[in-house]
Amino acid sequence: AQTVTQSQPEMSVQEAETVTLSCTYDTSESNYYLFWYKQPPSRQMILVIRQEAYKQQNATENRFSVNFQKAAKSFSLKISDSQLGDTAMYFCAFMTQSDMRFGAGTRLTVKP
């Protein structure tokens, strides 16, 4: 069975510092996509970053970057220069052609 594990239910970081959220997954598929979603209190799911498994280069979107370790099945999210607006739940997700799985989420609090 395909699973996604986020081992950190809650994290906090000081404003302007860097934080890394962990995600591991388990699959026997070779082609898949990985995502990080941000969910603010509005409950909307905002796509933060996306990584194709066949790409070795780590995806980057402004202050957000990932460390994709395919062999280790690890997909961590690094947030640089944390801002108060980054406070939210963050979900890691994994998708193949026929299936999509989510982690349980990490609640990130950015402190002023």
Partner 1 sequence: NAGVMQNPRHLVRRRGQEARLRCSPMKGHSHVYWYRQLPEEGLKFMVYLQKENIIDESGMPKERFSAEFPKEGPSILRIQQVVRGDSAAYFCASSVLAANNEQFFGPGTRLTVL
Under the rule (CB under 8 A), what is the footprint of partner 1? Answer: 9, 35, 37, 39, 41-47, 89, 91, 99-102, 104-105, 107
* Least Å from the CB of residue 71 to partner 1: 26
* Least Å from the CB of residue 102 to partner 1: 4
Q: Which is nearer to partner 1, 9 or 112 (CB)?
A: 9
Q: Which is nearer to partner 1, 39 or 65 (CB)?
A: 39
Kindly tell me the burial class for residue 85, based on how many C-beta atoms sit within 10 Å of its own C-beta (0-12, 13-18, 19 or more): exposed
Q: Which is nearer to partner 1, 29 or 81 (CB)?
A: 29
Q: Which is nearer to partner 1, 63 or 107 (CB)?
A: 107
Q: Which of 61, 88, 74 is nearest to 34 (CA)?
A: 74
Q: Which of 37, 40, 5 is nearest to 22 (CA)?
A: 5
Structure token pair of residue 97: 């052609």
- The three-class DSSP label of residue 68 is strand
76 backbone dihedrals φ, ψ, rounded to 5°? -90, 150
* Least Å from the CB of residue 12 to partner 1: 14
